Amino acid sequence: MPYPFPDAPLPGDPLAETPERGELRRALRALIEKESPPARIRELDEAERFDDALCAHLAAQGVLGIDAPEALGGSGDVRDQLVAVEELAAGPTSMAAFLIGHYAAVQVLARFGRGAEHEALLRRLIAGEARVSFALSEPGGGTDVARAMRTRAQRGASGFRLDGQKTWTSGAARAEALIVLARTSPIERSPVHGITMFLVPARARGVEIREIETFGIHGLSTCDVFLDGVLLPESALLGEPDRGMRQVFASVNREGLNAAAATLGVGRAALELAVRHAREREVFGKPIGAFHVPQHWMVDAAIALDSARAQMLRAAEIEVAGGDSGLVASIAKLVASEAAVRIAERGMQLMGGHGYTRANPMQRYYRDGRLWSFSPLTNEMLRNRIGEQLLGLPRSY
């Protein structure tokens, strides 16, 4: 049976894709094959440039509007998002990273946006005519961002004054607006209280954006954002004052689920490349794939990816049914991300010098897949959460 299983589901598999979702997967593969072949992916990776043309095609096919409100042109749900993210991650991985952030911005604006201005921006996001980046992390706090948050928003007579710094803000160099979380009240009982969410024009006076050089995901900028006396009107508020961190939890959970799909895509692509090489490359008179050691780790890789896929789809079904998918999504992201990095690393070892060249995508799978071992939450933090929620162990943070 060929791998991956979505192409050849087992008869009676309850997690098999619907015909409509299978058609979406095939359409995306055809689009990627035509518009983003390996040579194009490498060109953009080397130039560290975003693929505007592919983004426009995704918008035309409705991919940017998946799970957005139908009244604004959206369609589908989280299960369709997972298909889109996985397929892009298996090819132009940077576009998958863009899509994860895009979906988070759409989710926040759809739930917490106010008035015609926010609705108009949401329509433009779905149409591919605008970009919004999420500015949450700060230099002094990663996982513990709420307690460590130093960005402040002070209410004035006509709105707010915003001061602080954000980091690891994906896509900010090309963004029209930023979703910024800032502390508006002091920490009392819980550090998540007293944080408010704002929509900030990226070119507003007092906003400075600087790109950060990163190891992977070269097709999407990663930036520091400096906020120095940025004046915002009352209409910049997203949702309720002091409840921004609680409001953003849902988007972070979805981001983790989409990260599982991204690493599934990376791991799948790396495994397919390794298997193809193992079948074709001969040493000592027989294919590399005939030797026990490479054969065993490739089998283990396929099992790990399929296990992660099952957990990811289970989490998606829980979310669609209105339940809390956080625990299962954490398991899926943890298994998929660690499998993807391990597959790419062993794939490079299997291919020897061939895997070390920039012309071969295996090294890019390693660089790009590495992102999701610590984003949106580190795998260490996920283990702590799983220990608490699944095993009932004492909270470690």
The CATH code of the domain that includes 26 is 1.10.540.10
CB 227 within 8 Å of CB 137: no
Burial code of 286-317, b = ≥16 C-beta within 10 A, e = fewer? eebbeeeebeebbeebbebbbebbbbbbbbbb
Range of the domain at 104: 5-126
CA angle, corner 68, sides to 67 and 69, nearest 5?
A: 120
**Shared domain check, 194 and 114:** no
Strand-pair category, 177-183 with 132-135: parallel
Has residue 272 been placed in a domain? yes
63 lies in the same domain as 180: no
Structural domain count, the chain: 3
- Domain end, chosen from 190, 209, 242, is at 242
Same domain as 89, residue 104: yes
pTM of the model: 0.95
Domain presence at residue 205: yes
Query: Is the same domain home to 13 and 75?
Result: yes
pLDDT greater than 90 at residue 11? no
Do 308 and 226 fall into the same domain? no
* Same domain for 372 and 273: yes
Task: Examine residue 168 and state whether it is found in any structural domain, yes or no.
Answer: yes
Please list, in sequence order, all residues whose beta carbon lies within 8 angstroms of the beta carbon of residue 95, skipping any fewer than 6 positions away: 36, 51, 54, 55, 58, 88, 219, 220
Quick one: DSSP state of residue 289? G
Alpha-carbon dihedral sign for residues 56, 58, 61, 65: negative
Report the CATH number at residue 218.
2.40.110.10
Return mean pLDDT, the chain: 94
Tokens found for residue 8: 């050849």
Residue 63: pLDDT over 80: yes
pLDDT confidence of residue 251: 76
Structural domain includes residue 150? yes
Could you tell me what percent of the chain has a pLDDT over 70? 98
Same domain, 263 and 345: yes
The CATH number given to whatever domain includes residue 281 is 1.20.140.10
pLDDT band at 8 (very low <50, low <70, confident <90, very high): low
**Average pLDDT of span 40-53:** 97
Residue 33: per-residue pLDDT: 97
Does residue 193 belong to any structural domain of this protein? yes
**396 domain residue, yes or no:** no
pLDDT in tens, 325-371: 999 999 999 999 999 999 999 999 999 999 999 999 999 999 999 99
Last residue of a domain, one of 190, 224, 242: 242
Query: Which domain-ending residue is among 63, 95, 126?
Result: 126
104 pLDDT exceeds 60?
yes
41 and 154 share one domain: no
List, as own/partner pairs, every contact residues 276-279 make where C-beta atoms lie below 8 angstroms and the sequence separation is at least 24, other chains included. Answer: 277/347, 277/350, 277/351, 277/354, 278/350
Percentage with pLDDT > 90 across the chain? 86
Residue 131 has pLDDT above 70, yes or no: yes
Domain membership of residue 43 (yes or no) is: yes
- Rounded to an integer, the average pLDDT of 64-87 is 96
Mean local confidence (pLDDT), 57-81: 96
- Give the integer Cα–Cα distance in Å for 323 and 395: 23
What is residue 16's predicted lDDT score, i.e. its pLDDT? 84
Cα–Cα distances in Å, from 28 out to 21, 25, 149, 234, 257? 11, 5, 39, 41, 20
Do 348 and 265 share a structural domain? yes
> Does one domain contain both 233 and 264?
no
Confidence at 1, pLDDT banded by 50, 70, 90: very low
**Average of per-residue pLDDT across 87-94:** 98
256 & 385 share domain? yes
Nearest Cα to Cα of residue 20 among 77, 88, 104: 77
Whether 397 is in a domain gets the answer no
pLDDT digits (tens, 9 = 90+) for 183-227: 999 987 788 899 999 999 999 999 999 999 999 999 999 999 999
Among residues 17, 86, 87, 255, which one is catalytic?
255
> Do residues 253 and 379 both lie within one domain?
yes
Tell me whether residue 280 is one of the annotated catalytic residues: no
